[in-house]
Each structure stands twice: as structure tokens, then as C-alpha cells.
Amino acid sequence: MQFYNETSTVDTPDTNEAPANIIEVNDVSMCFNLYREKVDNLKEYVIKLVKGKLHFEEFWALKDIYFSLGRGESLGLVGRNGSGKTTMLRLLAGVMKPTRGSVKVFGSVAPLIELGAGFDPELTAKENIYLNGAVLGYSKLEIQNNFDKIVEFSELEAFLDVPVKNYSSGMYARLGFSIATFGNPEVLIVDEILSVGDFKFQQKCHIRISEMLQKGTTLLFVSHDAEKVMELCKKAIWLNGGVMMMVGDSRDVCKAYAES
């Protein structure tokens, strides 16, 4: 891992040549406005906004974050709840834009950040495989050709015609992971979603992630389990209050975090 010092807001490369890094995070800060007053409806919100009576406090979830990752590298993010880990993943997934700085990802991304993200709870698992696959950028033909593999890995054959609103959190995780990883995306982003469900399936997911890393997939992984971070990631960043406290070998970083 190396620090990336160029200031830019461009999200795509200027040439047709593949960049050395697949991820470049440059001077990234993320601010949220926390409103002081309770607003019950849109009308009240608009009235207070027009009258200048809508007061809020700034909350900086991330402050001046720098790092870059090459293709096939693995990075773990560790830190207490509220330290900015999930916010960083959302920026990398393109769900949000940073307040300051730039986030560049030069490749396809499969984000596994929230349970059920990209699913329609009223549709069956079979229907959601096509829906979620399309959201991730796969064509209908690609999904058709890999449908049986997705179902087999998820171990949900008996529940394909059940609306996913009736699924447990573990079943959501099984389905989401199976869809996101069948096509070997260039970047895999995984939050605590894999902490739900049974131990055997978690181990199965870790094996698939290891296989994807061997094939060149870049991994960003968040977990409160230091052993899992050290197992899957060679490098890690420790975040505390949105500030990058330490970056380096995952074992050194996890040890420092555990002792803090």
C-alpha cells in the first residue's frame, strides 16, 4: 500500500492504459449534517428551511483519508462502531460522494454492505437473483448461464419460490454473497454482512474470497473479528473517529487496535 498524493476529482483515467492502482483514495473527508430539531414532516421541514430556522451540527465521519490499492491486494478496515468504516465502503461502492477529496475505482465493484440491498422483498429469491444481478451489472444471459451455480452455492434450493421478505438475515447473506461473487468482480467490498448466519457458510464464503484473491480480485473487508481480518487481508487500516490512526501489515494494525 502507498499513499496517493495527487489532488483530483476525476473518477476515470485519462488514458486507455490500465492504471497501476485499482483504488485511489485521495484526501477524502465526509461530513453529515445532524439536525438539532425534530422535524415531523416535509411541510414543516420546508417552512423551517425557508425561514432559516433549521439548525444543524456538522459531523465529520471521515477526515483526510489517503490510501491506494493495487489489483489483487486485500485491505481490512478495523475500528469501533461509528469510526467511519462503513462510510468509507459506501464511498468506494459509489453509494455516496465525499465532501472533500476524490475516490477512484478503476474496475467493476461488487458491494456487500447491507443485508437485502438491491433486493425487492416482495419478489421470490429466483426473481431477485435476476434483479440483484442486473443491479451489479450482469447481463440476463450471464445470470442464466450461472443461475445453477448461484443457487448451489447459496444452499437455498428449497426456498427459491419464497418471497425474500420471509428470509432470515442469514438467508439474505447467503443469497447476496452468492450473487455478488459468481462473476469474479475486480473489486469485492464486504462489510459485517458475513457475520450473520451459520459458521460453516461463513467458512465457505472465506474460501471463495481467498480463491477470488488468487485470481486477482481486490478485497476491502470490514469485520470486528481481528482473526478474520488477518486471515483474509495482508494490510489493514485502523480508523478512530473518522481519523486514520495506523496503516500497514494487518497483524500489526490489529494488534495495535486490540491494545488501544
Taking the C-alpha atoms of residue 6 and residue 4, their distance in angstroms, rounded to an integer, is: 6
Amino acid (one-letter) located at 41:
N
Taking the C-alpha atoms of residue 209 and residue 78, their distance in angstroms, rounded to an integer, is: 18
Contacts of 167 (CB under 8 A, 6+ apart): 125, 159, 175
Q: Please give the pLDDT value at position 113.
A: 85
Taking the C-alpha atoms of residue 237 and residue 220, their distance in angstroms, rounded to an integer, is: 10
Q: Please give the pLDDT value at position 116.
A: 72
**pLDDT tens figures, 45-103:** 666 666 666 666 789 999 999 999 999 999 999 999 999 999 999 999 998 999 999 99
What is 21-107+186-258's CATH number, 2.60.40.3880, 3.40.50.300, 3.40.50.1010, 3.40.190.10?
3.40.50.300
Q: Please give the pLDDT value at position 9.
A: 37
Q: Please give the pLDDT value at position 37.
A: 63
Nine-digit cell at 171? 438467508
Q: Please give the pLDDT value at position 7.
A: 33
Contact call for residues 177 and 193 (beta carbons, < 8 A): yes
pTM for the model: 0.80
Q: Where are the domains of the chain?
A: 21-107+186-258
The residue ranges of the chain whose pLDDT is under 50 are: 1-15
Q: Please give the pLDDT value at position 55.
A: 63
- When the pLDDT of each residue in the chain is averaged and rounded to a whole number, the result is 86
Q: How far is CA 103 from CA 15, 108, 210, 239, in A?
A: 18, 14, 25, 17
Q: What is the radius of gyration, based on Cα positions, of the chain?
A: 20
